[in-house]
Amino acid sequence: MGDAGTPPVSTAHRVRSVLAIQPFRRLWAVNALSSVGDWLSLLALSALATNMTSGYQAQSFALGGVVVTKLLPALLFAPVAGALADKFDRRALMAICDVLRCLLLVSVPLVGSLWWLFVATFLIELVTLFWAPAKDAAVPNLLRRPDQVETANQLNMVMTYGVSVVAASGLFTALTVIGPTLALQLSPTGTMAVALLLNAVLYLGNAITVAIRIPEISGRAHDAGKLAGESLFALVRDGLTFVGRTPLVRGLVIGIGGAFAAGGAVIACAKLYALSLSGGDGSYGLLFVSVFSGLGVGMVFAPKLAARMPHNRLFGAAIIAAGFAMVPAALAPHLWVALVTVALVGTSAGIAFLTGMTIIGAQVEDAVRGRTVAFMQSLVRLVLMGAMAVVPLLVAVVPPITFEALGRVVRVDPTRPVLFAAGLVAAVAGWIAYRQMDDRRSGGVRALLSALVRTPRTGSGLLLSVEGDTVAETAAQARLLVDWLREGGREVLLAGDPALEGERLRDLAEHGGLTGHRAHALLAAAVRADVVERQVLPALEAGSVVVLVCEPTVSFAAGAPEGLVDWATGRLRPEVTVLLDRAPAGPAGRIEHTWRHVLTELAAADPERYVVVDADGDGEEVALRVREAVLPALSARRVTVPPTDGSLASSEAG
């Protein structure tokens, strides 16, 4: 569930909160080493394959063979890999896969033949295909809160597609120069053998770490015993059925397919596109740097955009933006225009990629998460491979267009209409994904909240609400918010003190001899109605700011239905409701229909009026986040407030 209303908590705070979780921190380190190993093995195996052949044509075929054998397993076995991740213990599966990768890498220089290099590359990629879904599916179970999935994915992706690429390239370069530097008699083939052995050590270390140091990976949020008795064929069939029948996942499939088809078109056209811009190999390299730089920027800024728009809609919107950005790229007359537009394509793709993985981690059930991840990973490879194979043929078939404009002969390279068409494909796919995944059209709490008719009221007052899962914390944060607002010189009312309401509720229940849950729900609604009528409405009419304190015992946990609460309050709705979200005390990954479930439903259904605030940390840190959460509403009403650092120097919000 996308926490669309999350206030702008700093990136450093989000990263620290996630890395403070020891099991995730260890798994993140394992992923980092594995990513470095994956990129290093690609470089080493490619170089070794060319060293084992002679002649330009033979070396080209050898290099292409390594790429094909790395892509082929995902096309053939991805559904089976996902089923294994859901059926068996993910920790054992990851450890076994790392041991197998270690042994296969060691075997390549020992056997020393090109045919075995291809076989080993295929098997290594096959084992990696089993390892990756198990890792990705386990991540959400190690975290404390659903909103941390996005930060966890951000950390993993930045490491996988950024830091590890640089680290592996640097390590590979160092290995190629260390021999001559130290006067070691290492042939190019021997140097690549050293690289593969070092890579094998990385995988072996990961296997030991996963098996001994991260037992939490074995924890599951569902009854894994139910899956143990099912065949792999049944699991694969059920996984594909789930993908086809679930609008959320179906939208992900359509969106990712369109996005990576467009991305594959850009990659396949890049060389000829650079030539059409009167550039050479340098321009070709700049285009790649621009795309991947944009990808990194998109992954960094995706959480900030998710604070304004739910993930389900942000995903489709980002793909639409990527498609539209390809249109000016196709029309770019100069290199600098192409670099800017291609960077925008990469940025939009980075946002969509991170958002899609966050949706899978936060909204797809643990029982089918492994199969969903594997399906997505295979889809990416299949679409990229297909686009890179088909697009060059299209470029060869489409004739160049020549016409005269303003006395000049203009020649349109075939890459331009192909890129233009790819952009349209991505935009259409993004729009379909947006419509499929738009949760405002679904039932349950979302539809109820979106359909609510809010009672208009007169007066210039502003109603804010603070809700949490404990009386003490909710009341304390509400009082801190009131004290801060009063420093701005505005009349502020604290309404709905939980202690007073609780005392009145107990008195009424004891006086009437009422003990049932429904009776308590009716009494709680009556007490809240009295507070609204006697305190809240008069203060709003007078133009005051009202901070209403709420807790689950009043609004949800007492069993009061939503309609009863609406009737009791006259459908009065705060401009902003701050939902205090603290990490659960129970085991990570346990799914219950509790306050936290209702909290995430509310935030995703109406992000303009509900904001989720991380309640972990001391009171002052949480209070600062609460202030940041309500600032937009205060700015819209031009309420004068002090700076959020608590100083007395007043300034008008906005």
Per-residue pLDDT tens for 111-162? 999 999 999 999 999 999 889 888 988 888 888 777 788 788 888 888 887 7
Between 86 and 119, whose confidence is greater? 119
CB atoms inside a 10 Å sphere around CB 497:
16
pLDDT at 518: 61
Report domain extents, the chain: 1-229, 232-442, 453-652
Q: Which of 62-66, 234-238, 381-385, 417-421 has maximum average pLDDT?
A: 417-421
Tell me which amino acid residue 653 is.
Answer: A
Would you state the structure tokens that stand for residue 471, as one six-digit string? Answer: 């009386």
pLDDT at 24: 93
In the block, residue with structure tokens 């179906």: 250
pLDDT at 109: 93
C-alpha to C-alpha distance for 532 and 279, rounded to whole angstroms: 69
pLDDT at 92: 94
Nearest to 576 by CA among 160, 67, 74, 6: 6
pLDDT of 525 higher than 80 = no
C-alpha to C-alpha distance for 434 and 247, rounded to whole angstroms: 10
pLDDT of 221 higher than 80 = no
pLDDT at 549: 83
Q: Residue 227: pLDDT band by 50, 70, 90 thresholds?
A: low
Between 59 and 326, whose confidence is greater? 326
Between 9 and 82, whose confidence is greater? 82
pLDDT at 517: 57
* Mean pLDDT (the chain, rounded): 76
**β-strands 408-412, 462-467: how paired?**
unpaired
Between 32 and 189, whose confidence is greater? 32
Segment (H or E) for 175: helix 164-181
Considering Cα of 394, then 397, then 398, then 401, what sign does the dihedral take? Answer: positive
412-442: per-residue pLDDT in tens? 778 888 888 889 989 999 999 988 886 544 4
Mean pLDDT of 169-183: 75
Nearest to 360 by CA among 378, 375, 381: 375
pLDDT at 333: 83
User: In CATH terms, are 232-442 and 453-652 the same topology?
Assistant: no
**Is 156 in contact with 31 (CB distance < 8 Å)?**
yes
CATH architecture of 232-442: Up-down Bundle (1.20)
pLDDT of 469 higher than 60 = yes
* Sequence-ordered list of residues with C-beta below 8 angstroms from that of 129, at least 6 positions apart, any chain: 73, 74, 77, 78, 81, 374, 377
Mean pLDDT of 208-237: 71
**β-strands 576-581, 610-614: how paired?**
parallel
pLDDT at 30: 95
- How many secondary structure helices (H) and strands (E) does the chain include? 25, 9
C-alpha to C-alpha distance for 172 and 253, rounded to whole angstroms: 35
C-alpha to C-alpha distance for 90 and 234, rounded to whole angstroms: 19
pLDDT at 516: 55
Nearest to 314 by CA among 322, 324, 306, 325: 306
588-643: per-residue pLDDT in tens? 444 344 455 555 555 554 556 778 888 888 888 888 988 888 888 787 777 777 77
pLDDT of 477 higher than 50 = yes
> Of the ranges 12-26, 136-150, 372-386, which one carries the lowest mean pLDDT score?
372-386
Q: Residue 202: pLDDT band by 50, 70, 90 thresholds?
A: very high
The alpha carbon of 549 is separated from its chain's Cα centroid by a whole number of angstroms, namely 32
CATH code: domain 453-652 is 3.40.50.300
The pTM score is 0.61
pLDDT at 632: 81
- What homologous superfamily does CATH list for 1-229? MFS general substrate transporter like domains (1.20.1250.20)
Between 593 and 183, whose confidence is greater? 183
pLDDT of 541 higher than 90 = no
Q: Residue 445: pLDDT band by 50, 70, 90 thresholds?
A: very low
pLDDT of 190 higher than 80 = yes
The alpha carbon of 285 is separated from its chain's Cα centroid by a whole number of angstroms, namely 28
